[in-house]
Amino acid sequence: MNNHLQDTATLNNGIKMPWLGLGVFKVEEGLELVQAVKSAVKHGYRSIDTAAIYENEKSVGQGIHEAIVENDIKREDLFVTSKVWNADLGYESTLAAYETSLNKLGLDYLDLYLIHWPVKGKYKEAWRALETLYKAGRVKAIGVSNFHIDHLEDLMKDAEVKPAVNQVEFHPRLTQQPLRDFCREQGIQFEAWSPLMQGQLLDNPVLQELAAKYGKSVAQIILRWDLQHGVITIPKSTKENRIIENADLFDFELTKEDVTQIDQLNQNLRVGPDPDNFDF
């Protein structure tokens, strides 16, 4: 596992998902994003993660279509994720949101569709919609994002299909050990958003020391740590050199001691909203 950029994790329904993908949070529609997607695919990435609320699905879709032609690959070679936004959570509205995302992306199906946030009283109806899409073969896998243990337990009480993925904030300052253990026990693949803590860890002395030791960047040390924890990761960048650097993770391995040292940086510190307490 994790020895090559195109290595995959096998989800609980047998679908294979690349360990590393390109995130596009806060990247606006436009040529820069189209280029970023094309660069990523050109340099071997096979997974792209977007969301309705990012308001950039059109450019992501354009990048995907151009990349398929330029790299002589098939749509099936790529793994595309999007997410339903809070305002659209509900049975009919989630089904409609899925069609809207597909239309913007210009795709016939998604590989993974996630509920973006656990809005109380709404996510179960949305999950029923995701199950409908999944059973109809319209999406390869369904999952959630920003769900705590209690949200997952609540969802699974009535769910017919278990979530395949839980995408949450995860980095050395927020290691989410209880949630990771729970997901592992349940066969739910853990995925990191904001793996680099939006750049806030790049001058951390412990990580800088490890970077020097391995001859790697701090970002590469963190992303390798993700992979060695069995966590799928989707670092965001629009710069080609950074896209290449973020994927250069497969020629070294952190020792067990070094992994533990990074684990100990945990402070349960978030850069994003708390899933137990958000109002959007």
Place of tokens 């969301």: 51
Please indicate, yes or no, if residue 271 is contained in any of the structural domains: no
pLDDT tens digits for range 150-162: 999 999 999 999 9
Instruction: Determine, yes or no, domain membership for 151.
Output: yes
Distance CA 272, CA 269 (A): 9
- 131 within a domain of the structure (yes/no): yes
Question: Rounded CA gap, 236 and 219, in Å?
Answer: 11
- The predicted pLDDT at position 2 comes to 62
pLDDT tens, residue by residue, 212-223 = 999 999 999 999
Residue 174 lies in a domain: yes
* Within a domain: 269: no
d(CA 87, CA 210): 43
Q: Among all residues, which ones are annotated catalytic? A: 54
Q: What is the mean pLDDT of each run of 10 residues along the chain (280 residues)?
A: 86 98 95 97 98 97 98 98 98 98 98 98 98 98 98 98 98 98 98 95 97 98 98 96 96 98 98 94
Which residues, 6 or more positions from 93, have their beta carbon under 8 angstroms from its beta carbon? none
In a domain, 94, yes or no: yes
Q: What is the DSSP letter of 86?
A: G
- Hey, what are 150's tokens? 């209690």
Range of the domain at 233: 8-263
**pTM for this predicted structure:** 0.97
Q: For position 194, what pLDDT does the model report?
A: 95
The rounded distance, in Å, linking the Cα atoms of 121 and 116 is 14
pLDDT at res. 1:
54
Cβ(270)–Cβ(59) below 8 Å = no
Count up the domains in the chain and report the number: 1
Predicted pLDDT at 3? 75
Cα separation of the two ends of the chain: 38
CATH number where 139 lies = 3.20.20.100
CA 129 – CA 98 distance, rounded (Å): 9
| Chain centroid, CA 273 distance in Å | 17
Q: Kindly state whether residue 244 falls inside one of the protein's structural domains.
A: yes
